[in-house]
Amino acid sequence: MRTQKQVSAPRAENSTSLAVETDFSDGLIGFCRTFRAQPLAAETVRRSTDAITDTLACMLLGTSQALEPKLRRALFSPQPLKQVLTQFAPAALRVSSTDTQGSAALYLGTLAHAADFDDISHPAYCHATALLLPALLIRGVALGVSGEDLIRAHVVGVETLGQLGRRLNTAHYERGWHTTGTFGAIGATAALAFLENFTDDQMRGALGVSASLASGVRQNFGTMTKPLHAGLAARSAILATRLAEQDFTCAPDAIEGKFGFMKVFGGTAPASYAKQWGHPLEILTETGIGLKAYPCCAATHPAIDATRRLREALKDNSVEDIESIRVGASRFAMQPLIYDLPNTGLEGKFSMRYCIASAMIDGAVKIGTFEPDQIKRPAIERLMKKITVEIDPLVADDHEFAAIVELKLKSGREESIRIDVASGKPGNWLSETLLKEKFFDCLGAERLNSQAGQVLFKAAQQLAVQKSVEALYQALVQTLGEADVS
Amino acid sequence: MRTQKQVSAPRAENSTSLAVETDFSDGLIGFCRTFRAQPLAAETVRRSTDAITDTLACMLLGTSQALEPKLRRALFSPQPLKQVLTQFAPAALRVSSTDTQGSAALYLGTLAHAADFDDISHPAYCHATALLLPALLIRGVALGVSGEDLIRAHVVGVETLGQLGRRLNTAHYERGWHTTGTFGAIGATAALAFLENFTDDQMRGALGVSASLASGVRQNFGTMTKPLHAGLAARSAILATRLAEQDFTCAPDAIEGKFGFMKVFGGTAPASYAKQWGHPLEILTETGIGLKAYPCCAATHPAIDATRRLREALKDNSVEDIESIRVGASRFAMQPLIYDLPNTGLEGKFSMRYCIASAMIDGAVKIGTFEPDQIKRPAIERLMKKITVEIDPLVADDHEFAAIVELKLKSGREESIRIDVASGKPGNWLSETLLKEKFFDCLGAERLNSQAGQVLFKAAQQLAVQKSVEALYQALVQTLGEADVS
């Protein structure tokens, strides 16, 4: 066995672990075996495909964020993006070294999470596809895998992240770990090892190395180092799998042992979190994966959904006909939404009144909604004065930020809509319209050639039937190249 | 300030930390400023120079370990060592990207700790120079620093590791962290940031990123992933400094904050560990840095030292004239020395009788002492029967493995030597003879061109007066190249 324990030092902690505990790794390996042989359900394909599509958009959005030139210069020295991307070409990737593939994964993973607009998994409390997709794409191109292979590996990654969360959260997260970095290293490694068709022993080897790569502290939230954690996890997957492929040894119980990941990164989850591997698939659970429909605080999302539907109901009436809007929110929504009347775009993202006024006037809440010149628009300021936000007894204790929005027109007409779960959450999956809207918004209409974007969107949505992921990846690299402003 | 906290998400944990706690970083920055302006004491230079010399030897020893071809193939694809080393040439390094420099650091750091024969620092409980030297050498060559610059940076690294240990150990280590990986990422980053002459803000930036890179669990002890931790720390230093150089943001209190390194990786040290930064320099303390003189369990070292001196005292007598040898050891030494009569070389490393018999017959305990064909030598087996090992009341409670070895000859003559602190420990620093003996033993007399080794040894020992570290590095690369057996 590749991961046999070497008896190089008869330390007390190793010599006592005669019966090696490997339940997590065994569960994952058993799941992989079963899952590989099963047909994919349509809903599984749908969720994975949409999450991948969404993450590609987030990567492109990442090129417009302040961290992009800094990250690029730090990793690749002062080359323009277009020149850097020559290293990302499929032909170059196939012959590139582990470090080059690792840097590519680090770059793409960090971009994907740069604007914090990418998907999230509970109870892992981590951003999933941003950390999973880069390594899968890069190695997938090098290996010539199919679209279905990539989707399956993504599902394995989401499953692994969920199972880690189910065992260690919320304690792990509350201790200060950023799960996107910690669970991420292990989840991305499991997904990549599955994609690479590793033997059971190679899978154990890769997991064991990844236990020693897991890192990321929450103190770095709110800085560029937070999205870096997603990139680091992706890079770790590439290193851990390459080492395991060479029979580089590690403890067989590096995940479960006394000084392994589970115990050292510690915590105990509530019993209610427990679930069998793959029953149901984590990605099909109500917490498995959630996409963000709007580039602002998740606590505003159900109310934005409601407002957009109310706006459609306005029909012949204009915004000027509005007498008042009342937002009935949950207690939990009030906690992060600390800006009543925002002064900056960033504050606007945490202001219910600003988000609702924008949704009503613009019909959508987009990336541009939070540009500096948008915050003080007179029409928005007028409408904000007519909006009240309060805790509504009907939704007060809801953890999903359920909201009731009531619209009163000057004519006396009243409309009210309650939304329990935001668009993009598993229970209210993103419509193709909303997904497409977000996708092209992320690409940045003015900056990017929409034709390349169209090709990318279509390739992503049709991933499951593609014999190779190369066309999708090519479209990504081309679209990234068009984002070059350096 | 480069590391200003970005207010991208008004999360409770960030918004409450109005008064940012940065004592550790402030202490380090203050120390760096003072230390840079001070002349180096001769003893500081000596210890640092010897530790660097010793670590270069350990890197070369690493090329003969089982992990080397696996690591090389995983990182650089299946190229022979000589071909890989073209990437290590100074001219290539100077234009190489962060990932290439990072992989070089990862490779050299892992080699240095591969045989577990490299130096160790307390109370950090980590292998120090193995994780510090690779990044300093690689970046030092790229930057054209002097030998003294490199020595100073090494001393800063040892200081930082010690201060981390003084704050968090033994609890941190006991929780299951491998400090070579966790403290290592921060210590190597501090040393490299010092070498690169970073501003205070850049130093904070580099430290903050390194807090998110720290990793390594003790469950992987006894496997190839343990030495990988030293390499990972070295690689982390290169990434963290390159990002900080680009003003990539992180929390200013990523080390000290509520969810920063200190609290998340937790633990509280005994008050007796506390010491001011640089007073005295950690490397000058009695625990600061210790070199291993023999390639076997540290618990045998004082007794081996004693035996070697008794052997000199034998003079005209031969080993056959020995009536008996009694080893009086400490209680602590007995714990790891679990093999009475070893059957394999590895068991021999943890057998007091075998080590003492070898020291008496061979006059030295070397790498070859533990080759499979050496264990069952008749002369050794005969002598082992005459050796008794017991706890001696005089040294029973000594934590440094103090030992008393008593030699009785058939003539009735008796000699006894007590050694309290092994050669290589700060209180009994390695003689030039022993250092040189170890150095060339690590190089492997049969396999390596001794002339290249001579050049390397001389360059390392004269490092402090060299205007550039390039000659030393060149000699290392050349000697590594001669180790090519792939």
pLDDT above 70 covers a percentage of chain B that reads 94
Q: What is the mean pLDDT of residues B324-337?
A: 94
Chain A residues whose beta carbon lies within 8 Å of the beta carbon of residue B10 = 336, 338, 350
Q: Do A245 and A312 sit in the same domain of this protein?
A: no
* Mean pLDDT score across all residues of chain A: 92
Q: What is the pLDDT of residues B3-14, one digit of tens each?
A: 444 433 333 344
Q: Does residue A428 lie within any of the structural domains? A: no
End-to-end CA distance of chain A: 50
pLDDT single digits (tens) A136-178: 999 999 999 999 999 999 999 999 999 999 999 989 999 999 9
**B247: alpha, beta or left? (left if phi > 0; alpha if psi -120 to 50):** left
Together in a domain, A278 and A304: no
Three-state SS string across A427-446, please?
A: HHCCCHHHHHHHHHHHHCCC
SS3 state at A120: strand
Query: Are residues A399 and A278 both part of a single domain?
Result: no
Residue with tokens 């500081």: B44
pLDDT tens string B151-169: 999 999 999 999 999 999 9
Mean pLDDT across the stretch A110-118? 96
Domain contains B373: yes
Max Cα distance, chain B (Å)? 84
Does one domain contain both B288 and B308?
Answer: no
pLDDT(B191) > 80: yes
- Count of domains observed in chain A: 2
**What DSSP state is assigned to residue B122?**
T
d(CA B250, CA A219): 8
pLDDT band at residue A15 under the 50/70/90 scheme: very low
Nearest CA in chain B to A11: B336
Helices (H) and strands (E) in chain B, counts: 22, 4
Residue A392's CATH number: 3.30.1330.120
CB hemisphere CA count around B159 (13 angstroms): 27
pLDDT digits over B358-393, tens only?
Answer: 999 999 999 999 999 999 999 999 999 999 999 999
User: Positive or negative CA dihedral for A461, A464, A469, A471?
Assistant: negative
Q: What is the CATH number of the domain that holds B82?
A: 1.10.4100.10
Judge if B70 and B152 occupy the same domain: yes
Instruction: Tell me the per-residue pLDDT of B424-447, one tens digit each, with 9 for 90 and over.
Output: 999 899 999 999 999 999 998 666
Instruction: Give the model's pLDDT for residue B448.
Output: 65
- B210, B314: one domain: no
Query: How high is the pLDDT of residue A449?
Result: 64
Tokens of A218: 């929450």
pLDDT digits (tens, 9 = 90+) for B26-74: 999 999 999 999 999 999 999 999 999 999 999 999 999 999 999 999 9
Contact flag B225-A232 (C-beta cutoff 8 Å): no
By the 10 Å C-beta count (0-12 exposed, 13-18 middle, 19+ buried), A248 is classed as: buried
Shared-domain flag, residues A303 and A409 = yes
Cβ neighbours of residue B361 closer than 8 Å, sequence gap 6 or more: B319, B377, B379, B380, B383
| Assigned token pair, A460 | 């992503």
Q: Do residue A202 and residue A80 come from a single domain?
A: yes
Other Cβ atoms less than 10 A from the Cβ of A258: the count is 16
The answer on A262 and A182 residing in a single domain is yes
| Of A486, A471, A400, nearest in space to A90 by CA | A471
- Which pair of tokens denotes residue B383? 């002598």
Q: Tell me the chain A residues in contact with residue B7 when contact means C-beta distances shorter than 8 Å.
A: 222, 346
Same domain, A250 and A302: no
B125 φ/ψ angles, rounded to the nearest 5 degrees: 50, 40
User: Is the residue at B262 inside a domain?
Assistant: yes
Residues of B in contact with A168 (CB under 8 A): none
Kind and range of the H or E run holding B485: none
Residue A129: asked if its preceding bond is cis (omega within 30°), the reply is no
ipTM computed for the complex: 0.92
User: How many whole angstroms from its chain centre is CA A69?
Assistant: 22
Best to test chain A binding among B4, B100, B225, B339 (most A CBs inside 10 Å): B225
Alpha-carbon span A135 to A112, nearest angstrom: 12
- Residue A138 C-alpha, separation from nearest chain B C-alpha, in angstroms: 16
What phi and psi, each to the nearest 5 degrees, are found at residue A418? -110, 130
Q: DSSP letters of A211-232?
A: HTT---BGGGTTSTHHHHHHHH
Q: How far apart are CA A401 and CA A391, in angstroms?
A: 11
- What is the DSSP secondary structure assignment for residue A2, as one 8-state letter? T
pLDDT of residue B124: 94
Distances in whole angstroms, Cα of residue A128 to Cα of each of A111, A282, A289: 14, 12, 8
Chain A CB contacts of B336 below 8 Å: 9-11
Distance from CA of A304 to the nearest CA of B (A): 19
Do residue B346 and residue A102 have CB atoms under 8 angstroms apart? no
Report pLDDT for B484: 59
Backbone φ and ψ of A109, nearest 5° = -65, -40
Residue ranges making up the domain that contains A20: 12-293+442-482
Contacts of B479 by beta carbon, 8 Å cutoff, 6+ apart: B60, B443, B448, B449, B452, B453, B456
How far apart, in whole angstroms, are the C-alpha atoms of residue A190 and residue A192?
Answer: 6
Helix intervals (H) in A315-397: 331-334, 345-348, 352-362, 378-385
For chain B, the first-to-last Cα distance in angstroms comes to 50
A6 domain residue, yes or no: no
**Does the distance separating the beta carbons of B181 and A212 come in below 8 Å?**
yes
In-domain check, residue A3? no
Other CB atoms within 10 Å distance of the CB of residue A305: 25
**In this structure, are residues A265 and A172 in contact, taking their beta carbons and an 8 Å threshold?**
yes
CA A185 to chain CA centroid, nearest Å: 14
- Distance (Å, whole) CA B322 – CA B283: 41
Whether residue A165 sits in one domain with residue A233: yes
- The answer to the question of residue A236 being in a domain is yes
Higher model confidence: residue A346 or residue A211?
A211
Q: Tell me whether residue A377 is in a domain.
A: yes
- Answer whether B220 sits within 8 Å of A208, measured CB to CB: yes
Whether residue B315 sits in one domain with residue B280 = no
**A191 within domain boundaries:** yes
